[in-house]
Amino acid sequence: MSKLLVKPTGKSGLVSHVTPESAGWTYVGFDLYRLKPGESASAQTDDREVCLVFVTGTGKATAGGNWLGSLGGRKSPFDGKPWSVYVPERSSWAVVAETELDLAVCSAPGRGGGLPERVIAPDTLGQEVRGKGTNTRYVTNILPENEPADSLLVVEVITPGGHTSSYPPHKHDRDDLPRESYLEETYYHRLNPPQGFAFQRVYTDADANGTGELDEVMAVEDGDVVMVPRGYHPCAACHGYDLYYLNVMAGPKRTWKFYNAPEHEWLMKA
């Protein structure tokens, strides 16, 4: 199995756990909690900022000692926009599940921005349609670069069955602004119906010997996490199974500037 593919470790509790140390990189962290009613998750943020995304279910949330109320409500990640919470560094958060709850914890370094804890409500989230034909996908911006945060960029994408996504292949692994920004990235995948699978390839350009430094093709199933340390990272959803993924990105500068694979860039004009 690819070292870039992280399978859930169980059916309850902390089922996915990606840290900068486990990933071998610097910025992005990602956890997924699956909680039953009455169960809870909590943490101190220390020197990292956090975005809590209520992927499914409902929970009572506090952040920085402040009561935020009962948040969430989606029955599936394909069911409308999510509720989320931003928690800055040197703070804390806690969530108690009211229903069965899938809670994503997205994290990256804080930079002393002095931002307050805040609820990110579904009706404040921008949505857009990207691509054409069988490259159409539907994007919900949870924490885009025009919203306050120190490092984090967080977005949800739904790709219909039979469509491609993160395509034409693009990358963001060079700190070469304004042309390209360096961003590490995780993909948390869900399928509808859940017994389906999709594919994701993570690869770099060929070297002088005609081979790529990195070239991994993974069959992703419901609940899998894919780590993208560098390179291009397109996805393909199989016929009959819609693909959802939650992206977390962070790097030295909080901006998303990507570079398209030149041999496939013609698709942008087709």
Q: What is the pLDDT of residues 10-49, one digit of tens each?
A: 999 999 999 999 999 999 999 999 999 999 999 999 999 9
Q: Rg for the chain (alpha carbons), in Å?
A: 18
The superfamily (CATH) of domain 5-268 is Jelly Rolls (2.60.120.10)
Residue 31: is it exposed, middle or buried by C-beta count within 10 angstroms (0-12/13-18/19+)? buried
Q: How far is CA 241 from CA 156, 176, 192, 230, 238, in A?
A: 17, 37, 5, 27, 6
**Largest Cα–Cα separation, the chain:** 58
Domain boundaries, the chain: 5-268
The answer to whether the bond into 168 is cis (omega within 30° of 0) is: yes
Give residue for tokens 């921008």: 126
For 37-96, write each residue's pLDDT tens digit.
Answer: 999 999 999 999 999 999 999 999 999 999 999 999 999 999 999 999 999 999 999 999
Contact 241, 194 (CB under 8 A): no
**Looking at residue 170, what is its pLDDT?**
97
Q: Write the CB contacts of 110 (distance below 8 Å, at least 6 apart in sequence).
A: 45, 47, 48, 49, 88, 89, 90, 150, 151
Mean pLDDT of 188-215: 89
Q: How many Cβ atoms are within 10 Å of 13's Cβ, its own excluded?
A: 13
For 216-259, write each residue's pLDDT tens digit.
Answer: 999 999 999 999 999 999 999 999 999 999 999 999 999 999 99
Q: What's the CA gap between 27 and 21, in Å, rounded? A: 10
For 40-52, write each residue's pLDDT tens digit.
Answer: 999 999 999 999 9
For residue 209, what pLDDT band results from cuts at 50, 70 and 90? low
**Looking at residue 109, what is its pLDDT?**
98
